[in-house]
């Protein structure tokens, strides 16, 4: 956009957005005029005590007319005609003063200073344009000259008439110059405010983007640090655990153990403990070995993965209404078992939140909504429940490894951290939104199996998918 076009647009916006400014100043000026005009009776008493009644009537009539214009400035037509109304009420006192000059001493009347004062006030204070200011000045000068020239009560003092007219011309010129510079100053101030507002909006957007990038980088650093720690511990922990499991299995087969219930129970508890350690080590492997490869490039049906996850969490989801909203084609690219694991974790957490909410909110109808939508080359998945929600102070920490709000012994806080790493390995991002006491929604995205991807060597051809089967039944009722 070139400069003239920019100036035109800027002035158009200026005219629109500063209408309230003009209206407010015009109202204030009219109110001041309504006060000063009748207040000038003191001048009449000082200069022309014999004409106080006649001049006072003129002031009263002018005040009434100014009051009517002030009422119009507060009407619904004011925004549209504010400039016209402003010029009209500025002319009224000038007409009154010119009449008073004609009725008193003509060209030498001291009221000429009132005309000059009104011109200065209009140029400095009132939000009128250059042409309006020039017109007001020309009218004032001409009206004064005619009033002094036509004055019949005494011979016309030519020197005073010409001198005062020149003085009024100077006042009108100064008023017009002030009008031009005031208008330019207001326009520049408006342009500066517009620029500052745009810069602030841009900075706010940039700050939000930087905050998101910072959060992602911090999360990636945490994942990387945990991966480094996990890689060093896996070998040291896994071998002793395997040895212990072998020893426990051999001990459980000993006839002496079968004969002692207490010993068998103790060994079984020890084996369960070793199994738990193995599960933790398995979770940690997600961080230690995050390498995209063959499994991450396979094409599978997300709907099928969701069905598998619903079967695996069928026990926890008993009594929970499931609502699924999937597009016709849900072929995606990735590691199907890992994606199933993400869904199992999210559904399990949702079920736990719903069971807690059911205890505190009478009449709650537990529900989980799984919604997927295609956007560009990605499939965005949303898992939403109407459970307990997440406290604001915990919302930014839910993906931190070992952070959990569960009681001791009910979890290590690795589930969501593992899910975050899995989704990140698939080129996506796992996010959360929640309102405490109302709902929680986790979202992540997967790469769609596009036509180009399907033609790559070794890729499974993406035939026309069958229409999705409704999944709106209870989780336990989903067929295998």
pLDDT confidence of 453, banded at 50, 70, 90?
very low
- As a whole number, mean pLDDT of residues 56-66 equals 94
pLDDT confidence of 276, banded at 50, 70, 90?
confident
pLDDT number for residue 470: 38
pLDDT number for residue 80: 82
pLDDT, tens digit (0-9, with 9 covering 90-100), for 79-112: 888 888 888 989 999 999 999 998 888 888 899 8
pLDDT, tens digit (0-9, with 9 covering 90-100), for 112-151: 888 988 888 887 777 677 888 888 889 999 998 998 888 8
- pTM reported for the whole predicted model: 0.45
Q: At what angle do helices 3-17 and 158-252 cross, to 10 degrees?
A: 90
- As a whole number, mean pLDDT of residues 237-244 equals 80
How many Å is the Cα radius of gyration of the chain? 42
Helix, coil or strand: residue 433 = strand
pLDDT number for residue 451: 42
8 Å CB contact between 31 and 39: no
Whether the per-residue pLDDT at 431 is higher than 50: the answer is yes
pLDDT number for residue 210: 79
Whether the per-residue pLDDT at 78 is higher than 80: the answer is yes
8 Å CB contact between 446 and 332: yes
Residue given tokens 């005309």 in the structure block:
115
- As a whole number, mean pLDDT of residues 330-345 equals 88
Report the DSSP beta bridge partners of residue 442: 383, 432
Helix residue ranges, H only, 396-441 = 415-425
8 Å CB contact between 257 and 263: yes
Q: Tell me the C-alpha distance between 336 and 341, whole Å.
A: 9
Question: How would you classify the pairing of strands 431-435 and 299-301?
Answer: unpaired
pLDDT number for residue 332: 94
Whether the per-residue pLDDT at 57 is higher than 90: the answer is yes
Closest CA to 117 of 226, 12, 33: 33
Is residue 252 classed exposed, middle or buried when 0-12, 13-18 and 19+ CB atoms within 10 A define those classes? middle
Q: Tell me the C-alpha distance between 247 and 263, whole Å.
A: 14
pLDDT, tens digit (0-9, with 9 covering 90-100), for 6-29: 456 666 666 666 677 778 888 888
Query: How far is CA 478 from each of CA 161, 308, 310, 414, 468, rounded to the nearest angstrom?
Result: 104, 9, 7, 28, 13
pLDDT confidence of 3, banded at 50, 70, 90?
very low
pLDDT number for residue 252: 85
pLDDT number for residue 219: 59
8 Å CB contact between 306 and 408: no
Whether the per-residue pLDDT at 182 is higher than 60: the answer is yes
Closest CA to 474 of 318, 307, 308: 318
């Amino acid at each position: 956009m070139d400069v003239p076009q920019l100036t035109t647009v800027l002035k158009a916006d200026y005219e629109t957005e500063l209408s309230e400014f003009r209206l407010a100043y015009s109202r204030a000026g009219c109110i001041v005029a309504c006060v000063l005009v009748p207040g000038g009776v003191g001048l009449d008493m000082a200069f022309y005590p014999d004409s106080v009644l006649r001049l006072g009537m003129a002031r009263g009539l002018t005040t009434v007319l100014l009051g009517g214009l002030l009422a119009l400035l507060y009407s619904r037509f004011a925004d549209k005609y504010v400039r016209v109304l402003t010029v009209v009420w500025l002319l009224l006192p000038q007409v009154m003063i010119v009449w008073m000059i004609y009725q008193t001493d003509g060209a030498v009347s001291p009221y000429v200073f009132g005309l000059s004062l009104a011109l200065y006030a209009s140029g400095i204070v009132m939000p009128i344009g250059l042409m309006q200011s020039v017109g007001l000045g020309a009218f004032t000068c001409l009206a004064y000259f005619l009033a002094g020239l036509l004055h019949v009560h005494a011979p016309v003092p030519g020197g005073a008439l010409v001198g005062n007219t020149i003085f009024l011309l100077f006042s009108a010129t100064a008023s017009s110059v002030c009008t031009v510079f005031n208008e330019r100053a207001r326009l520049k101030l408006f342009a500066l405010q517009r620029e500052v507002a745009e810069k602030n909006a841009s900075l706010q957007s940039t700050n939000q983007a930087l905050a998101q990038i910072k959060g992602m980088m911090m999360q990636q650093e945490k994942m990387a640090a945990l991966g480094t720690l996990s890689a060093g511990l896996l070998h040291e922990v896994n071998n002793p655990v395997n040895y212990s499991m072998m020893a426990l299995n051999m001990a459980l087969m000993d006839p002496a153990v079968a004969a002692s219930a207490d010993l068998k129970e103790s060994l079984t508890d020890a084996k369960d403990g070793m199994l738990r350690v193995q599960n933790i080590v398995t979770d940690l492997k997600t961080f230690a070995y995050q390498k995209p490869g063959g499994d991450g490039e396979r094409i599978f049906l997300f709907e099928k993965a969701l069905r598998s996850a619903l079967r695996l969490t069928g026990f926890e989801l008993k009594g929970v209404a499931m609502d699924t909203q999937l597009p016709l084609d849900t072929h995606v690219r990735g590691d199907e078992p890992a994606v199933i694991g993400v869904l199992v974790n999210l559904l399990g957490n949702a079920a736990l939140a719903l069971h807690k909410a059911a205890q505190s909110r009478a009449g709650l109808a537990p529900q989980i909504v799984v919604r997927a939508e295609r956007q560009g080359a990605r499939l965005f998945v949303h898992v939403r429940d109407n459970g307990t929600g997440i406290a604001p102070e915990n919302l930014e920490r839910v993906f931190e490894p070992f952070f959990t709000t569960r009681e001791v012994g009910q979890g290590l806080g690795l589930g969501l951290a593992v899910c975050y790493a899995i989704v990140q390995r698939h080129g996506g991002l796992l996010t959360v939104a929640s309102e405490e006491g109302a709902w929680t929604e986790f979202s992540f995205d997967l790469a769609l199996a596009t036509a180009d991807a399907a033609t790559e060597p070794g890729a499974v051809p993406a035939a026309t998918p069958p229409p999705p089967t409704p999944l709106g039944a209870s989780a336990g009722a989903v067929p295998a």
